[in-house]
Structure formats: structure tokens, C-alpha cells
Amino acid sequence: MRNYLVAGNWKMNGDSAANSALCREIVGGLSRADSVGILVCPPFPYLESTGAKLEGSGVTLGAQDVSEHRSGAYTGEVSAGMLKDMGCEYVIVGHSERRALMHETSEAVAAKVAAALREDIKPILCVGETLGERDAGKTERVIAAQVGAVLDALGIEAFSSAVVAYEPVWAIGTGQTASPEQAQKVHKYIRELLAQRSRDIAEGVQILYGGSVKGNNASGLFAMPDIDGGLIGGASLDAAEFLAIAEAAASNS
């Protein structure tokens, strides 16, 4: 049986004081952390300090990106080994903002998945379509290409140690959210795509939904059979909202 995972992506937000207060409120407010995985992904400069505040709390530390390279002359990049050294257990790869703003290709994302796996860090592979692609009926084609790049490069075995996050680009930071039924349809498609290579691995993969998830819509999303939690953006910066989402996951466990 798959457990729920609620992952907070803080993006490029916060400072030392704000992060400290947020961690304190999240840790202090968790009532059923044992039944749901709780993860926060702060910006790179705050990984160590955030990790120290989460120590012993049951809340896991993750990062927002990783270099495909192990080390070397790559100014500004951060390797998987460095993330491991900071105590990260997860890393987000292929977020739609990086695909769009940093022009990351699916092949580059696959290389980052490989880099994370080499250090026993769980990659959270983000996939999703734009509004234009959805309106053109290309959702499944886009998802298949994004997931397929990892399958082609690393094989189905990579997904035994990875998480997938479906994040429709049209629902990120817009206030729009896919209905539970819309999200479930794509989550089911992703699982079936993986099942073509290995049904056992496909059944075990956590597939998260990301796209304007809040406390008031999380329960309906998490009630769907193939939605195993959420990759939370803006709401993860509000402790009360984030805790409400975690509680919704726990209630569906």
C-alpha cells in the first residue's frame, strides 16, 4: 500500500527569520506525521539551517534542483553529493518553471534523475502540460514524452526509487486547480504508462498532484485512487494551510 507524501516547494521565498518561524509552526502543528510523509524543500542557502530545525521532527528535508554533474567547473550548480551532505533525502527535478524559464529539456531532466539516484536521493520527477497543450488534446502525448525520457535513459527500475509529480502548468500559481476527476485521469495514465514496463513498480510509485492545492481542495484530490499526495507551492509557505493539507492526507490514509 502506498503512503501519502505532502511536499512543500518553497521556491525562491523566505529568509532566516521567516524560515525559522515556518519550521517551528509546521513541526509544532503536526498531529499525525507518522501516517503521512512530510517534506519541505527550501532554497539552497537555507538547506543546512532548515535541516537543523527539522532534526528529530519527522519532517524530511529536500532540495528544489540538482546538477547532473558530480563536481567540477560548473559555477552556481549544486551536486547531488552536496545535497546528500546537507541531509537531503529528496530533490525536485524538472519542475515546470525550470523547464520553461531555464529551458530544461526532458533529456536534461533524466540526467538529473540519474544524478540523484547515484546518491540515494529520491527524485521527484515533475511532468505536466500547458493550457495550450491541454486544449489541443496533447496532454497524454506530453506526459508520455516527459516520462519516456527517463524510461529510455534509465529504465523502469529508476521509478522504484523515484516519485512522480503531475503538475498541470495551467494550474500552478494561477488559483485554478484540476478537478479531482481531471487529475485522477492523468495520474491513472501515468501509472498505466509505467505498468507497461513493470506493474509491480508502477503500483508502488507515489504520484503527487501539484497545482494550487490548498486545505479546502486537498481532501477531494487525495480521495482519488491514484493520487498519493501533493507537491505544494504557495500554500507550503503558510503553516496553517500546509498543515491542513497534511491533515487531509492523513484523513484519507
Q: Which residues contact 220 (CB under 8 A, 6 or more apart)?
A: 180
Whether 95 is catalytic is: yes
* Catalytic option among 68, 104, 129, 167: 167
Q: Mark 40-70 as b/e (b = at least 16 C-beta within 10 Å).
A: bbbbeebbeebbebbeeeebbbbbbbbbbee
DSSP characters over 4-73: EEEEEE--S---HHHHHHHHHHHHHH-S-TTTEEEEEE--GGGHHHHHHHHTTSSEEEEES---SSSSSS
106-118 helix and 139-154 helix, angle to the nearest 10 degrees:
40
Q: From CA 140, how far away is CA 168, in angstroms rounded?
A: 12
Whether 107 is catalytic is: no
* Catalytic option among 68, 95, 129, 187: 95
Residue 178 DSSP one-character state: -
Pairing of strands 163-166, 122-127: parallel
Of 93, 150, 90, the residue nearest 120 (C-alpha): 90
Q: Which residues contact 1 (CB under 8 A, 6 or more apart)?
A: none
Backbone angles phi, psi at 235, to 5 degrees: -65, -15
Residue 207 DSSP one-character state: E
Name the residues annotated as catalytic.
95, 167
